[in-house]
Chain A
Amino acid sequence: MDLNESESAAGGGATGQPEPAGAAPRKASRGKLLIGAVLAVALVAGLYLVNRYWIAPALRTQAMSNGDHPEAPPISLTDIEGKKLDLADYKGKVVVLDFWATWCGPCRIEIPGLIELQNKYANRGFSVIGISMDDESGSVVEFYKEFKMNYPVAVGNQGVGELYGGIFGLPTTFLIGRDGRIYAKHTGATGVDVMEDEVQQLLAMSPDTEKTSFKPALAAGTSTKIELGDPAAIDSEVPGVNLAKLTAAQKESLKKQLTEQHCPCGCNFTLLKCRQVDRACRTSLKLAQEQMDKILKSGV
């Protein structure tokens, strides 16, 4: 570029045409806008990645290592072989409690890994327990035989799922220590290497050191905090709502009010009926709880 061109580019040299007034400032502000837009996109993407892969996992580790290990809620079912399956019988063992279903593809990837863990560690005080969320046992029995499953499996129900905080994605797997407390929760198919690492940690520790020394795997799908269901709310006359604080008269009043309103979720049921037939409906749950809070506040 010769001197004449560069002088022209700079806004008019001695020999070039002068640019129109205001053109240079307009070009500069458009350039700033473009830079700002690119920065914005980069910032949003960067913050998402930082949150997902650095901040959130660090927070999860922090939560776990601060002793956030609730007691595993009791489970008492009959397994598909007709035997009693009671979680209390496994106290003193490390347990992988796996919620799954025969129609769940990711569950089918995970189960061979669980079979492998059972084979490897069963004689060291470890067991997998499978809770199928299928509607009936027929398909579960077929699946059990086809996959040559080697650990106890029972068909669960919504109540059991709610005790464990609600099972919103399958597979959902809980790692329970020998002290009967939950140390990790994984939602989605989890690699056997991840679970094996956690099982080995718990098997190597005494029940006294589990709480402080355990380090959960920082895999995608590991929960930040294990929230369990409220048994009183699960067995309630208004499923999902703990009525313990209500008097008998207030309970009846609440139930009457819930039968007088329809759930806006689109089910065409009253709020009470919706709670009874669709315990997963968050709309009727929220409205029922709000109604109960109003009764408690009014004292009537």
Chain B
Amino acid sequence: MKTFLVLVFSFALAAAAAWARAPEQVVKAKVTMASLVARPDTVVKAAVMVEILPGYHINDHHPTLDYLIPTEIKLEPSKPVTAKDITYPKGEPKKFAFSDAPLSVYEGTVRVDVALQLERKTLPGNYEVKGQLAYQACNDHACLPPASVPLSFSFKVVRRVASVRRSN
């Protein structure tokens, strides 16, 4: 019992010290491709899972107030791949002291869907589309500067299957 209590006390001290440190990274983002292989003239889909540290929030892609910085995925031009659609989640309304009306924000984990269009003439090979998730995070009493997390969408393009004509 004594040994157990000593261990518990040591753990508690370490935990208290850990809480005292400021968080290093408030937002993380992870890309998951729906498929790692694609064909020309098709759409490649991916999900970007955005994890926001508890206690913090980032603004909706369409922020409630015009002075707030929106969360946005920006993709670098990567011909023959173009961004066809980026679908942002709906934010949660949350009341803050500095606003009369609730603000739409993202908290916890949210998902952004990205659709990339491959041109018809896309040659086979490995492709990487780079981008970033731009955001600006706040907690209840302070705001961090605008920041971004790098994103990478990697996939392989294979030849279109030649159409087969039936002979009879």
Interface residues of A (CB under 8 A from B): 32, 36, 39-40, 43-44, 47-48, 51-52, 56, 101-109, 133, 139, 167-171, 187-189, 220-221, 266-268, 280, 282
Rounded to whole Å, the gap between the CB of A25 and the closest CB of chain B is 14
A103/B16 in contact, CB under 8 A: no
- Can you report 27 A-B residue pairs in the complex whose CB atoms are below 8 A from each other? A36-B1, A36-B4, A40-B8, A44-B11, A44-B15, A47-B16, A48-B15, A48-B19, A52-B19, A52-B20, A103-B136, A103-B143, A105-B98, A105-B99, A106-B97, A106-B141, A106-B143, A139-B67, A168-B144, A168-B145, A169-B142, A169-B144, A220-B141, A267-B150, A268-B130, A280-B145, A282-B24
The chain A residue sitting closest to B152, CB to CB, is: A266
In the bound complex, what is the Cα–Cα distance between A44 and B144 (angstroms)?
29
**Chain A residues within an 8 Å CB radius of B149:** 266
B67/A103 in contact, CB under 8 A: yes
**Chain A residues within an 8 Å CB radius of B15:** 44, 47-48
A105/B22 in contact, CB under 8 A: no
The chain B residue sitting closest to A40, CB to CB, is: B8
In the bound complex, what is the Cα–Cα distance between A213 and B19 (angstroms)?
31
Would you list which residues of chain B between 93 and 121 have a CB under 8 Å from chain A?
A: 96-99, 103
The chain A residue sitting closest to B20, CB to CB, is: A51
Known: A36-B8, A109-B97. A104 touches B143 (CB 8 A): yes
- Count contacts between A and B, CB distance < 8 Å: 90
The chain A residue sitting closest to B13, CB to CB, is: A47
Rounded to whole Å, the gap between the CB of A192 and the closest CB of chain B is 14
**Chain B residues within an 8 Å CB radius of A47:** 12-13, 15-16
B138/A106 in contact, CB under 8 A: yes
A168/B138 in contact, CB under 8 A: no
Rounded to whole Å, the gap between the CB of A198 and the closest CB of chain B is 18
In the bound complex, what is the Cα–Cα distance between A104 and B141 (angstroms)?
10
Known: A133-B145, A267-B150. A109 touches B130 (CB 8 A): no
**Chain B residues within an 8 Å CB radius of A220:** 141
User: Can you name 9 extra interface pairs (CB under 8 A) apart from A47-B16, A170-B142?
Assistant: A36-B5, A51-B16, A52-B19, A102-B67, A105-B143, A168-B22, A189-B97, A221-B142, A282-B24
B16/A105 in contact, CB under 8 A: no
B16/A44 in contact, CB under 8 A: yes
**Chain B residues within an 8 Å CB radius of A171:** 142
